Structure 1
Amino acid sequence: MTLSHVTTAHRLELARQLVPWVAIGVPAAALLGALAFQYIGGYPPCLLCHWQRYAHLAALGLALVALPLSGGARRFATIASALALLAGAGIAGFHVGVEQGWWAGLPGCSAPDIRGLDVAQLREVLMQAEVVPCDAVAWSLFGISMAGWNLLLSALVGVAIVWVVALGSRRRQA
C-alpha cells in the first residue's frame, strides 16, 4: 500500500497516535539540547532561557501524564502540554525581542545598577552570582538565535498538537 492509497482518516489516526510521543520527544530534546549547550558548549543560560526551560519541563510532564490516560483525559493533558509549549513560544518570542532590542528585558536580565553604592556594597554585588545578559545572542544558526529556534519549534509543535487533537475530537463527534 502506497502513501497515496492511505485515506485521510488513516493519516489522522496515525497522527493522533504519534502526538503523545511528539509531545514527549520535542520538549525532552529541547531540554537535552539546552543542557548540552550549557555544559558541553559553555553557553550559560540567562533568566529568559531558564523560563523557556520551565515551559519545556511543564510540557514534558503533562505529556508524560497523558501517555497512560485515554479518551478525554488524554486529550486534555495533551492539549495542556501543547499549551505549555505555546507559553514557551511566547517567552521565546519575548526573548527574541529583547535580543533584537525591540523592547527592554526584565530586571534579572542585566547587571544590577551599581550607581551610588559604596565599596563594600559594590564588592557584595560583584561576589553574587554571575548575570548572563538576555539581550546578547550567544549562538545562532542562519542568523536565528537559540531563542528564535525555540520560538519556531515550540510554536510549530504546539499548534500542530492542538490541531491534530482538536481535529481528531471533531471527527469522532461527527
Structure 2
Amino acid sequence: MMGPVTAAHPITVNGRTVRFTVDQWVRRHLKPGMFEGMRRHLMNQRGIAWHNDPNRGGIRNGIERWTMLAGRHPNGGTGVTLETPDGTRLDISLELDGAIPPEGRFWENPAHEYPILEAERARIIHPVEPAIENNGPYGAISRLMEFNEPYLTIIEQETLTNQKRNNRTQPPRTPPTNTRYRTGEE
C-alpha cells in the first residue's frame, strides 16, 4: 500500500529552498481523539513566540523551519517528503493501490496531519477542489492534495527534465530482425 519516496530533492523557487514553519509545541499537544473545541483552540495558537521559550512554558526549538522535498513513489506517482532541521524525513504522501494521481498531485498521509496543515497554511499545497478522498491505511481518510503555483510548475518542469534525461540514457529500441510476420496468404 505504501511505497517510500525515492530521489527526494528540495523544491527551489528562484534559487531558494522552499521552507515553512512548524510549531512543535502545538504538534506535541495535539491528540488524535481530542475534543473539537480544544483542537480548534490549539490550532489557533500556532506560531506564538512563547512556544519557543522553555522559561515561559514552551519547549526548546518549539518553532522550526522544515524543508519541502519532492520525489517519486515506486509506481511513478509524485512523492512528497518533509525534512526537519535535524535531518529526519517524514513522507507526507502515500502511494495508494491503483490510484496514481496526475503530476503535482498526491494522496496525503493521514499519520502526518499536522505538518500537512502547516504546509497548507504556508500556501504550498492545498486540497483538490472538489474534494476527492480515498481510504488510506487503517481506514483513515486520505485527501488528494495539489501543489500551488509556482511549485506545481517547477515540479512539472523537473519531471519533464528527468524524463528526457532517462530517455537519453536508455539505448534505442530496435525491432527484432529475424522474426517472420504472417500475412495470412500462406
* TM, length-normalised to structure 2: 0.27
Q: Computing the radius of gyration over CA atoms, which structure comes out larger, 1 or 2? A: 2
TM-score after normalising by structure 1: 0.28
Higher relative contact order (CA 8 A, sep 6+): 1
Which structure carries more strand by proportion? 2
